[in-house]
Every structure is written in C-alpha cells, then in structure tokens.
Amino acid sequence: MSGQELSDRIWAKMAHHLPGKATDPGRTGRDKRHFMEALLWLARTGAHWRALPDHFGKWNRIYVRFNRWCRFDAALSKDRNAIECFFRKIKHFRRIATRYDKPARNYISFVNLVGALKSGK
C-alpha cells in the first residue's frame, strides 16, 4: 500500500477548508495532508492511536492535533434519510462502524472527514 488515501484532486478541493491556514490564530501544522493521511489510516483500520505507524509521526501529536481540529466541527443534517444514506456509504470504515472513539466530538469529526471525502468521489 502506498500509504496515500487522498488523491490530488480531492486534496485540492479540501485543503483550503481545513483549520491551520496561515490566517488562522495559533500555530499551524507543517503538513496538513500528511496529518489527514494519518487520520484516514486510523479511520480505515480502526486501530488505536498508539498503533499509528511511525512514518506519520508521533501518535500523541496527531491525537492532540485531531482533538483541536475537532473543535471546528460542522453540524450534521437533521434529515433522517440523508443521514442513513450517508452511513451506508461510509460503513466500511471500521473506526466509524464500531464507534471506536468514545468522545462524541472525535467520532463525529471522523464521520465528517470520511463523509466529505466520499462525497467528493
């Protein structure tokens, strides 16, 4: 496996929507795409944070950055049919299907991340 989940086309669409732009307050991460690849690896495998491969960097830094990133969460639609269709599309992501993340904001952030990527295909 190449270790790359994001195509250049999808990355181009989503990069400017992520927190951590030069205009955002606070320090920004060095490589947003690498961070997103780490999150997608976690979502796809359902692995624990500590099992994150070394090439993604220190697991704790990714975890802390993800928790900060979760604060930028968007609200889900209240339309039940749309939500059910959405979950049918993303159910093969083990981390989402098993509800691995107990904090609601972490779980919803993974759902939003995978949903945004799936809707772009």
Question: Per the domain annotation, does 5 fall within a domain?
Answer: no
Domain count, the chain: 1
- Determine the 3-state secondary structure of 25 from DSSP: coil
Write down the pLDDT at residue 98.
75
**24 occurs within a structural domain:** no
The pTM of the whole model exceeds 0.85: no
Domain span at residue 66 reads 29-119
Whether residue 13 is contained in a domain is answered as no
The tokens describing 101, both together, are 């993340």
What's the confidence (pLDDT) of residue 94?
A: 75
The stretches of 26-79 forming alpha helices (DSSP H) are 32-45, 59-69
pLDDT at position 75: 41
Residues 6+ apart with CB under 8 A from 29: 20, 35, 65
Check: CB of residue 87 under 8 Å from CB of residue 76.
no
Please tell me the distance from the alpha carbon of residue 12 to that of residue 60, in angstroms, as a whole number. 27
In a domain? residue 99: yes
Would 8 be classed as within a structural domain? no
The pLDDT averaged over each successive group of 10 residues in the chain (121 residues) is 68 73 57 86 90 92 83 50 66 73 83 77 55
